[in-house]
Structure 1
Amino acid sequence: MENVASQENLSELLSRQLDEIGFSPKRIQERTSLIKKLSEAKDISTKKLLNRDDIEKIFVGSQREGTGLNHCNDLDVLQINHGVFCLINGHPLNTENGKVIFQAVQKNIPYGYVLLKLQSEGKSETFQQHKYALVEKNEEKYLSSRIFMTRNKDICQTRAGWLAENTNYQPQEGPSIPKNTVQNPIESFILSCLNLKTKKTDVVCALPCGANPILEEWSKRKRKSGWPCRKTITHVLGLPAYVVPVGLRGSKDEDLQWRVCFTKAEIYLIEDFNIVQTKVFIILKLIAKYVLQPISDDISSYVVKNVMLWMSEKIPQRKFCQDNLVARLGDAIKYLKKAVKENHLPNYMIPERNLFEGKLKGNEKALLMDKLNSLLENGEIELKKYMDKPDQLSEELEQVLSTYRIAKEIETDQMKILASFTKKQLVEKYIQMFSYESHGSTCHNILFTDSAVPFSKFYSREWFSESVNVQSSNYRKLLEQSLVRGFRNCKFDTANSPKTAIYSLTCTNGHLRSVVTSVQRPFYDAPDGFSSILSLYSAATCRPRPAATEIASRPPYLTPFSGHFSSKTNYF
């Protein structure tokens, strides 16, 4: 009985910690509602920019599911071409709609993958866009996933304007093309001081796929737990499937293979979790990210998602209750341990597909087993230590919690700003981001709230006149310490600058438009105090740092930031 009571107390502690770092039921609901609106606005704006109705662009992944935070998790985007359709198992072909149609061939292909054999060329324009990736095999034409990935179809690659020109692409990762937008150096500097990630977006191109035979088999599976319920299953049966351009590593015809995925179905199933299922999922993802992935990249967030979906199908949902959070987390770790030991984790939607096939190489399996055993044997002990002495957390865990608390505060401000826009206004802003030229009307704004936490980065002059009144928590000291540490790293004398907060720096056409700061007099009078501000200006504009003598008679406007952006005069 004592052990049960202890687990209940630990469950309450864990649940409360998750609430504090941004995963309370209310925050998760707010996050998913907002990202849905942003996703719809993104899709509409993409169609308008491309002047095409057959391209759908939506947000997916952890942020879409409500289990990820901006600056802690990447943003995942799925770009779907509805001018193409792929059919599995010889379903009747409808060529009247003008779509390019491929037959999905499964024979002698690894489970969960298909070859796309051309059946109908459809409209000339759509066919020409895919013709470059066609190869001949046994007198038939197939769409090569490898060749398909040699062309970047992301909208930023095909448009002009500041956002497109300042988007950097990294080497592809599987079917994904990672990218990030060049940030103002000050923003990057502050994010690095706060141990936050520079925002990265993973774009995956997909083709619609008629995978009813696979979904029907999934729906008829026996489920002792009663989850998902019949209503949820019926809804999932109506959701689309896709194929994405990646083959099973090391297999025959890898370059021709496309992977079948059920992205929207998985999002819907995650949303059907109760709050304890969701929290177990979040904790397992954190364990994977900070404990297991340093050992092996193969323990991905998608692996964790499949573990959680299987656990939810095997354990009755009523057992996922507040008091059993720790117990269910233990069950999930045991399930993952068994999968690692056997080198076999079935895909939830297509059980014949082994997610660990060809993975966990060398001594990775042994190291993972040791770590998972340690979590099972010592996890509760460590939690009890924390419950007894919460001020004696390990440095690593304290850093993780601190990172997520800060990300939550930034997200709070971002959500308040974004929630104030209608979907129509968001569409207009997305289009504006692509429309502004790289020389002319583009401005970069690093804006901070009263507590000195950055909440957004805006584009275009008109936004700077808008009033902003957003309150956050007590992270002023944290940012001040980060800035002081950053100045010290830059060899600035910070002995007399314990209280520094740079609130806003705005650039137009490479010229400083305004500096709004709040600094204590000792810092301003210090020999290198004002020099630090000038150096930050130089870093932000990539221009030579002005000499202090050049502006001695025109010091920056010193005032605490009140929540309304001010650009009273040009100083340089």
Structure 2
Amino acid sequence: MCTLMNCLGYGPHIRQARSDAYRELDRLYNARKPFNIMQITTGSKAEGLTGVYESDVDMMYVLKGIMCLENGVDSDKLPRETIAFTLNTGVCYHGHSRLNLLERRGVMIPSKMLDSLCEDENGRFLLSSALVVDAVNSEWASTPNEIRHERAGPSMPTSKGPLHTDNVISLRCRCPGILSRWAERTRHWPPPDIVHKVVTMGSFVTPVGFRGSEYQHLEWRICFNTGENELMSSLNNTQVYIYVLLKMVVKDVLKPVKKEITSYTVKNIILWIAENNPQAQFNESSLFYWLRDGLEKLRTAILKIELPYYMIPERNLMEACGLDEGQKCTWVNTITDMMNEGSNTLLRLPRIRKAIISHPEPLVWYNKKRIEMELLHLKFWNRARQCNEENDVVNGSDPMLQAISSRTAELVIEVHTRMNREGSRLNDLTEIREMMLI
């Protein structure tokens, strides 16, 4: 099974290559754009766990010059021009907050930010999450052929051909109290150096309130995207494979339609499992044991409508998830059946089933081509960013871009030729290329 997971593109080398490519893409974007905004890739792309078109790209855009502070954090150490807000968590559900404007002499607040301020019942100014999203969305410059979709939670989704992106605005946040409580927990994992690194990365707030709150438009959610990226990168191979398999269970077996359960739910299950168990117990021979354990914890979360958020355990990730009793019973029964099936449960997962059928030679041959195609595509993105001239026009005469395009065309033709030899009648080379990147 571990061999299959490596062939399917979940091995450590391809995960690292993907993570490095998206990190470089962020660096190039932030170096060229003079705007007061910083791009950070998060989610499965930052974790290196999905292909180019396999899932949405989760992109976080951090507004510069603004800092949110936990109560008790000294604002005097901030640069004089920084706009500061204090977290008011006492009036919100766990993990959420209102942002109260902290008056500081000499600070000039941009007009768009001023327009997003509201007064509370005590006459204090609050930053409205809904108004900030509207203000940013109105100024968001679309690229050619980009389609903008309806807002989903904190995200402003866009698509461009087969590439779908979730764009989330965020503000930097300093909450040493919350991070200290997380860091001081008794644990098997992560090691102390990773704990320290996560703490130094701080946190963010994103413009989305607690579902069901009448003050959603004023509330922000506290999150730890960069810290979670670091945590996921420190998981061992077995833990990563369990995470991927559980995500497949949610997507291909349970098939939620209203995000009652998400890949983020699964991520938190894996983080808790890793923290609470000795790392030596996670190895190739124990893969199915831990997969069953993960299924059991997923079943419990659904049955009890309860799953503590890994960074702030008081926040229940299943709270207000919208799961009705009928759906809950169906999912609990399905997961119970899967737990009783042992290793045969993997046959329920289309990608794993196809891999088992095509193993070894066709699978190894095709995935070698597919992974090369993906790495070339990521390299092309980064090189194109480097070759951007004025008005974002790419210099197509660049030798590296031409070499990448040439090799990409060769790979598509190789795959097309074998497909035809084995009975396929698909002749659209563009469609084949896009299919290889899913």
Greater shift in the superposed pair: 120-129 or 22-31? 120-129
What letter is aligned with 2:110?
Answer: F
Match of 2:146 among 167, 176, 179: 167
What letter is aligned with 2:402?
Answer: E
Change (3 A) 1:142 1:67: same
Change (3 A) 1:296 1:201: closer
- The alpha-carbon deviation at position 71 of structure 1 amounts to 1.3
2:375 corresponds to which residue?
Answer: 415
User: What percentage of residue pairs aligned between the two structures are identical?
Assistant: 24
Change (3 A) 1:318 1:254: same
1:274 corresponds to which residue?
Answer: 236
d(CA) in 2 for partners of 1:313, 1:133 = 40
SS in 1 for 2:84: strand
Match of 2:315 among 341, 350, 353: 353
1:366 corresponds to which residue?
Answer: 329
- The alpha-carbon deviation at position 341 of structure 1 amounts to 1.1
2:435 corresponds to which residue?
Answer: none
- The alpha-carbon deviation at position 428 of structure 1 amounts to 2.9
2:397 corresponds to which residue?
Answer: 462
SS in 1 for 2:220: strand
**Structure 1 position 209 matched with structure 2 position 167:** no
SS in 2 for 1:110: coil
Match of 2:251 among 289, 293, 298: 289
- The alpha-carbon deviation at position 57 of structure 1 amounts to 0.7
1:475 corresponds to which residue?
Answer: 415
* Kept after mapping to 2: 8 A contact 1:134/1:143: yes
d(CA) in 2 for partners of 1:357, 1:408 = 43
* Kept after mapping to 2: 8 A contact 1:209/1:243: yes
* Kept after mapping to 2: 8 A contact 1:69/1:408: no
TM-score, normalised by the number of residues in structure 2: 0.85
d(CA) in 2 for partners of 1:143, 1:352 = 24
* Between structures 1 and 2, the one with greater helix share: 2
**Structure 1 position 37 matched with structure 2 position 24:** yes
**Structure 1 position 87 matched with structure 2 position 69:** yes
Query: Per-residue CA shift, 1:485-529, capped at 9, x if unaligned?
Result: 9xxxxxxxxxxxx5846579xxxxxxxxxxxxxxxxxxxxxxxxx
Change (3 A) 1:359 1:435: same
Once the two structures are superposed, the pairs formed by residues 184-333 of structure 1 within 5 Å of their partners are 198-223=162-187, 226-294=188-256, 297-333=259-295
d(CA) in 2 for partners of 1:374, 1:122 = 63
- The alpha-carbon deviation at position 70 of structure 1 amounts to 1.4
What letter is aligned with 1:367?
Answer: T
Change (3 A) 1:257 1:408: farther
Change (3 A) 1:153 1:92: same
* Kept after mapping to 2: 8 A contact 1:409/1:472: yes
Match of 2:37 among 55, 64, 88: 55
d(CA) in 2 for partners of 1:408, 1:153 = 41
Once the two structures are superposed, the pairs formed by residues 100-139 of structure 1 within 5 Å of their partners are 100-120=83-103, 126-138=109-121, 139=123
Query: Per-residue CA shift, 1:330-365, capped at 9, x if unaligned?
Result: 111111111111111000000000001112432221
Match of 2:132 among 123, 148, 157: 148
* Kept after mapping to 1: 8 A contact 2:88/2:98: yes
Q: How many residues align?
A: 417
* Kept after mapping to 1: 8 A contact 2:94/2:314: yes
d(CA) in 2 for partners of 1:336, 1:126 = 45
- The alpha-carbon deviation at position 462 of structure 1 amounts to 2.9
**Structure 1 position 78 matched with structure 2 position 42:** no
d(CA) in 2 for partners of 1:113, 1:503 = 45
d(CA) in 2 for partners of 1:79, 1:284 = 29
SS in 2 for 1:469: helix
SS in 1 for 2:135: coil
SS in 2 for 1:39: helix
5+ residue gaps, structure 2, are 432-438
d(CA) in 1 for partners of 2:321, 2:336 = 20
- The alpha-carbon deviation at position 417 of structure 1 amounts to 5.6
* Kept after mapping to 2: 8 A contact 1:100/1:122: no
TM-score, normalised by the number of residues in structure 1: 0.66
d(CA) in 1 for partners of 2:149, 2:426 = 38
- The alpha-carbon deviation at position 180 of structure 1 amounts to 1.2
Once the two structures are superposed, the pairs formed by residues 10-29 of structure 1 within 5 Å of their partners are 14-29=1-16
